[in-house]
Chains A and B, each alone.
Chain A
Amino acid sequence: MTDLLIKLIPVFPLLAVILNGLVGRRYSHDVAHRIAWGSVGLSFLCTIGVFIEILRSGRPHEVIAYQWIFGGDLTVNLAYLVDSLTCVMLLVVTGVGFLIHVYSVGYMHGETGFTRFFTYMNLFMVSMLLLVMGNNYLVLFIGWEGVGLCSYLLIGYYYDKVSAAKAASKAFVVNRIGDAGFLLAIFLIFINFKTLDYTKVFAQVGQLSPDMATAIALCLLVGAIGKSAQLPLYTWLPDAMEGPTPVSALIHAATMVTAGVYMIVRNHAIFDLSPTAMTIVGVIGGLTALFAATIGLVQTDIKRVLAYSTVSQLGYMFLGCGIGAYTAAIFHLMTHAFFKALLFLSAGSVIHALSGEQDIRKMGGLSSKIPWTYRLFLIGTVAIAGIPPLAGFWSKDEILAHAFTHHHYLLYGIAAIGALLTSFYMFRLTYLTFYGTSRMDHHTEEHIHESPMVMVGPLMALGVLSILGGFLGFPPEHGWLHQFLAPAAGTGGEHDVSTGLVLTLMMIAIGIALLGWGVAHYFYSVNLSAPDRLAAQFQAVYTTLLNKYYVDELYDLIWVEPTKKLGLLLAWFDRTVIDGLVRAVAHMAELGAAGSTWMEKYVVYGGINVIGYGNHLVARQWRQLQSGMVHHYAAIIVAGLFLLAVVIELIMQL
């Protein structure tokens, strides 16, 4: 029964993809969206069934859905491994996915390509489910590439917009770099273990030499960095905001970008063997958390602020992985999925209300006009800022506390500063959007309307999750989630910490969050001219941040432009040298053909004609013999007779 349920989970969205993708044009949008969210809803119900079974039995389920590759050393099945880690991911993916699908019905209403949107979204769900459910690296990789593809398709959803098309290819290309690393890791794993199944690999992981473990872990990390938008491959994620907002919420905040974190936690057995790789994971995570947060401080596009916030929060998850706090990382992944989806969808609701406006400089004073969106956005902000008892506080504080209690003081410092910045920029966003005086133009202001129930409903559900989600991990380090995840994600080096220290760290975290809020309040509510003065005072810093540290420009300079130049060079080489060679060969063939034509015409035909003409000439002479006169013939006969007689006589005499 459970096996069947597990097999059914990815089947529903797949059926929806086939149905909507192939015959979606034949029926109305109303049917299409019902198929889309209905299928995800069914998957969610199946997931709950599986979850209850796992909760009851407490052991992982492994199901082979299809025997795929078998031969030689390699046996790969389309098989699912559902343990507690997968369960948490499944609940997040299908649950949040379902809410976002429902929200999309309202948000995408009336768009051209409505059915195409839902087809891509469902395809994404299928890929993401394969990614988290696969019991071996190849199935993980299929899901990995599938979500990358869907990300590309959905970023480029408005394909007639140049910036969207460019952002889509950028996301795709940057992800390829990470995927190359991931593929190398899979090859290394296969060389070392002769299998790709998680259970078999992790059972033999002890035989691995430390160097090889580091190599595999680093290659996996490269893959995770690409997919989860960490330094230095994060640049695609802010650009990915060109896609429709539900896409940003589902793919570029709640699920796909967390695939890297999931992958690291899944492979924690390998990472645990390599302290070097762990340190690198932690440092990359910490740096990304701080780096992206600083950029988020000054951005003016509501979705871009959230995008940098996502990069930053993913950095926290990596940081958690790097210091061995796998459960905390997954905990933060889950709460982040709730409150970031909430924030993105609320932002989408704001954009929807303002007829497509995304610039926060042209917003303000919206709290009374769209009260529900405002309240829910505020919940999201408080949750991400880390103010208890909302979800973000518990998970983020756990990562910070873990860093401190395990003596990663530098990482703790970085993360704490990052948390301060997070709190600041999120409240800045809230103040600029919902408080103060309106900076909208008259036309937009007239059309403001609260979003329909189909959009606000999912927001409310996410709001509740953002408020209560944190209690799944309460009390810190010993919560329900920790016990549930312990078999799959490890305990992360249990050691007793005094309650006093934990409480002190909590107080510090709360203080940081409130400080961020206070500063934002001062800047954007009390002393409105302060931000501008500060920006003027630190002109250089401000411009650098506004231009995102010029990283895109730097990459353009280092990679993109040389690549383009190389491309042009190769094109030139192709045109002149290769094509020249080809043309030369063609020319030679042409010359040869002309030569042999000449030979044919003058030598062969000439010879034949000469023979023919010669025959003709001779024949013209010889035919005179046939005069038609009987006595000529008779004379010749007589002459021949005499000649014969003479010859015979001569022969007889010899």
Chain B
Amino acid sequence: MVPLSAYVAVSAVLFITGLLGVLIRRNFIIVLMSVEIMLNAANINLVAFSYYLESMAGQLVALFVIAIAAGEAAIGLAIIIVMFRGKTSTNVDEMNLLKW
């Protein structure tokens, strides 16, 4: 029987990995992949607690998150393609038009 803390620890490690990826990496695609990792960390937590608390609600929400993550990835990739056509780059630091 794997204890709940192990699940939470794995989830935390994954979330920190994703978070650091978002904050540190400059490549837009990798940032997007890091966001996916963070979403999956959250999913692990949801499922673990669902099992532990014997409630199906957490698993349902996890399913929703997976579905929305798929949509998010699709839109994110589409935006990246459009940006790449204009800038011939995927560097996030160059995409700073939305400022004062």
Residues of chain B contacted by A634 (CB below 8 angstroms): 22-23
Residues of chain A contacted by B100 (CB below 8 angstroms): 623, 626
Interface membership of A52, Cβ < 8 A:
no
A638 to B24, CA, bound (A): 13
Given contacts A635-B23, A638-B19, contact A630 B97 (CB under 8 A): no
Tell me which residues from 54 to 100 in chain B have a Cβ below 8 Å from any Cβ of chain A. 92-93, 95-100
Contact with B along A45-84 (1 / 0, CB 8 A): 0000000000000000000000000000000000000000
Residues A626 and B99 in contact, CB atoms below 8 Å apart: yes
Cross-interface CB contact of B92 among A623, A626, A631, A635, cutoff 8 Å: A631
Measured as residues with beta carbon below 8 angstroms from the partner, the interface class of chain A is 10 to 19
Residues B23 and A631 in contact, CB atoms below 8 Å apart: yes
Residues of chain B contacted by A627 (CB below 8 angstroms): 96, 99
Contact with B along A434-451 (1 / 0, CB 8 A): 000000000000000000
Residues of chain A contacted by B22 (CB below 8 angstroms): 631, 634
For residue A625, give the distance in angstroms from its CB to the closest CB of chain B: 9
Tell me which residues from 603 to 635 in chain A have a Cβ below 8 Å from any Cβ of chain B. 623, 626-631, 634-635
Residues of chain B contacted by A630 (CB below 8 angstroms): 31, 92, 95
Chain A residue, CB-CB nearest to B19: A638
The secondary structure that dominates the A interface is helix
Residues B92 and A629 in contact, CB atoms below 8 Å apart: yes
Chain A residue, CB-CB nearest to B94: A629
Contact with A along B12-30 (1 / 0, CB 8 A): 0000000100111000000
A394 to B42, CA, bound (A): 147
A631 to B98, CA, bound (A): 13
Chain B residue, CB-CB nearest to A635: B23
Residues of chain A contacted by B98 (CB below 8 angstroms): 628
Residues of chain A contacted by B97 (CB below 8 angstroms): 628
Chain B residue, CB-CB nearest to A624: B100
A282 to B77, CA, bound (A): 133
A86 to B98, CA, bound (A): 110
For residue A624, give the distance in angstroms from its CB to the closest CB of chain B: 9
Residues of chain A contacted by B92 (CB below 8 angstroms): 629-631
Tell me which residues from 302 to 334 in chain A have a Cβ below 8 Å from any Cβ of chain B. none
For residue A627, give the distance in angstroms from its CB to the closest CB of chain B: 6
For residue B15, give the distance in angstroms from its CB to the closest CB of chain A: 11
A627 to B100, CA, bound (A): 8
For residue A237, give the distance in angstroms from its CB to the closest CB of chain B: 100
For residue B53, give the distance in angstroms from its CB to the closest CB of chain A: 21
Residues of chain A contacted by B23 (CB below 8 angstroms): 631, 634-635, 638
Residues of chain B contacted by A626 (CB below 8 angstroms): 99-100
Residues of chain A contacted by B95 (CB below 8 angstroms): 628, 630
Residues of chain B contacted by A629 (CB below 8 angstroms): 92-93, 96
For residue B89, give the distance in angstroms from its CB to the closest CB of chain A: 14
Residues of chain B contacted by A638 (CB below 8 angstroms): 19, 23
A627 to B99, CA, bound (A): 6
A635 to B22, CA, bound (A): 9
A629 to B19, CA, bound (A): 16
A307 to B3, CA, bound (A): 147
Chain B residue, CB-CB nearest to A622: B100
For residue B32, give the distance in angstroms from its CB to the closest CB of chain A: 11
Chain A residue, CB-CB nearest to B22: A634
Name A's B-contacting residues (CB within 8 A): 623, 626-631, 634-635, 638
Which A-B residue pairs are the 3 nearest by beta carbons?
A628-B99, A628-B96, A623-B100
24 cross-chain CB contacts under 8 A: A623-B100, A626-B99, A626-B100, A627-B96, A627-B99, A628-B95, A628-B96, A628-B97, A628-B98, A629-B92, A629-B93, A629-B96, A630-B31, A630-B92, A630-B95, A631-B22, A631-B23, A631-B31, A631-B92, A634-B22, A634-B23, A635-B23, A638-B19, A638-B23
